[in-house]
Amino acid sequence: MDVEILGRVLSTLPGDDDHPYRTGPWRPQTTEWRADDLTVVAGEIPADLDGVYLRNTENPVHPAVERYHPFDGDGMIHVVGFRDGKAFYRNRFVRTDGLLAEREAGGPLWAGIAERPSKSPRQDGWGARGRMKDASSTDVVVHAGTALTSFYQCGDLYRLDPLTLDDLGKSGWGGAFPAEGVSAHTKVDEHTGELLFFNYGTAAPYMHYGVVDADNRLVHYTEVPLPGPRLPHDMAFTENYAILNDCPLFWEPELLAKGAYASRFHPELPTRLGVLPRRGGAAEIRWFEAAPTYVLHWVNAYEDGDEIVLDGFFQGDPEPKDDGFGDKYRRMFRFLAIDRMQTRLHRWRLNLVTGRCTEEQLTDSITEFGVLNNSFGGRRHRYAYATSGVEGWFLFNGLVRHDVLTGAEERFTLPEGVYGSEPAMAPRVGATSEDDGYIVTLTTDMNEDLSECLIFDAARLADGPIARVRLPERISSGTHATWASGASLPGWSDAESPATAVDL
């Protein structure tokens, strides 16, 4: 392994920190690395695994104003690239305006999600509720050859070179970038090269939806009127439609009027699923009513005759009660534990002729953070690759492959004390079927104080990793990830090896 430290960031976090989401498997990193020709500790990197796995991470640098929530951490991107049976690694902080301003100030300037905005030292800021830092730490996709990081409370899209992770500034879309910002979970349709996105906020119409074309031009932007401020986190799409949601879990209106942001579940209200043509306007949205729940993540949607089939994770208990078990942090962050929220893969069928929605639970297993072979995005899919969770905590302890056609599940559980991240499905070069490829994830190993990149055969997940590759240091646990094939990346084909690929 050829390793170089590219930079270090000064952290002002206390040495005796006891916050569980800033210590242990969530210990943030301060070092930015370049590592080429990574050491393969077991197995062999397949020669037809070709491209990059990118993962975002909440990686705080400063203490919170009062109360840290793990979604407040600054964005850090990790990339592991594969080519010719070799791998390279880079990690970089996302150079957000907020990170740079706090570096200048030497401490926190914005209150996080568990604090009132009025506690922010700065009057300005970003986010659906305002006066927050846009940490760009939630999601990452690759669109038009550029990695885009995003923030769940809406903000800018930060552009990074997907090989070097060099800062390429923010998406401007020729001056058309919406003032309302963009939410995490933009969607890239690999068949058209389009980027679909939404945003949300506290001012009417409360939501917008838009389309950016393959040439990075904003070609569509429309209002999506809602009954009030809502907290959508994800969207879905089919070949012809975009699917947005109005789940009955939102900021309590009376508290909102007093500047407090407390979300509450309303089991008396339906979940509403909004279907509109991908270039359609507000008048064309059709709303379907479904059982009340909150859906953090969808897996995919596709058209099936008169129906739209939508798969995602239904929460059996979107508002888990304090069971009095565990310490204050475990109780405070019970909303992050997928076993407490009872998240299960679920299918909604939206009939465009009758206007009715039918739905069914697809499994008893509790999983979330499901991904698929992205070339099946918006098309009929069969497989979803999801994570299993550590009881009571926001940590992943394994992977589950759901076959939504047969209901079969394949599971791989990590050893005790080893945690994974959202996987990505990397189709094999020349793939001939949906699951012809590899599953890639990163681990945080508290037993051995190290991190690895694990590669699985997507069709044989239960067999365990076919290769394990060592990273230069133990990285923080993190969540959303994506895969971009080498063929989709500008400059990739001109490079001789992963090591030279990053010096373009």
CA 409 vs. chain centroid, Å, equals: 23
For Cα atoms 221, 372, 351, give the angle at the middle one, nearest 5 degrees: 60
Q: The tokens 């390793």 sit on which residue?
A: 3
**Kind and range of the H or E element at 7?**
strand 2-8
State the DSSP string of 191-233: TTTEEEEEEE-SSTT-EEEEEE-TTS-EEEEEE---SS-----
Other residues' Cβ atoms within 10 Å of the Cβ of residue 126: 22
> What is the full DSSP assignment across 248-304?
SEEE-HHHHTTT---EEE-TTS-EEEEEEETT--GGG-EEEEE-S---S-EEEEEEE
Task: Tell me the C-alpha distance between 142 and 151, whole Å.
Answer: 15
CB 310 within 8 A of CB 243: yes
40-43 β-sheet, strand order? 40-43, 467-470, 452-457, 437-442, 424-427
Q: Which residue blocks in 416-504 are alpha helix, DSSP H? A: 498-501
Residue with tokens 């993540």: 297
Alpha carbon of 443 to those of 39, 182, 336, 422, 423: distances in Å?
Answer: 15, 29, 19, 10, 10
d(CA 248, CA 229): 11
* CA distance linking residue 426 with residue 481, whole number of Å: 12
What is the distance, to the nearest Å, from the Cα of residue 382 to the centroid of all Cα atoms in its chain? 21
* CB-based burial, 287-315: b 16+ in 10 Å, e otherwise: bbebebbbbbbbbbbbbeeebbbbbbbbb
Write the CB contacts of 258 (distance below 8 Å, at least 6 apart in sequence).
Answer: none
End-to-end CA distance of the chain: 20
Identify whether 205 is preceded by a cis peptide bond (ω within 30 of 0): yes
- Tell me: is residue 185 an annotated ligand-binding position: yes
What tokens does 117 get? 């905005």
Over the Cα atoms of the chain, what is R_g?
21
Binding-site residues for Fe cation, in ranges, read: 185, 233, 297, 480
Binding-site residues, in ranges, read: 185, 233, 297, 480
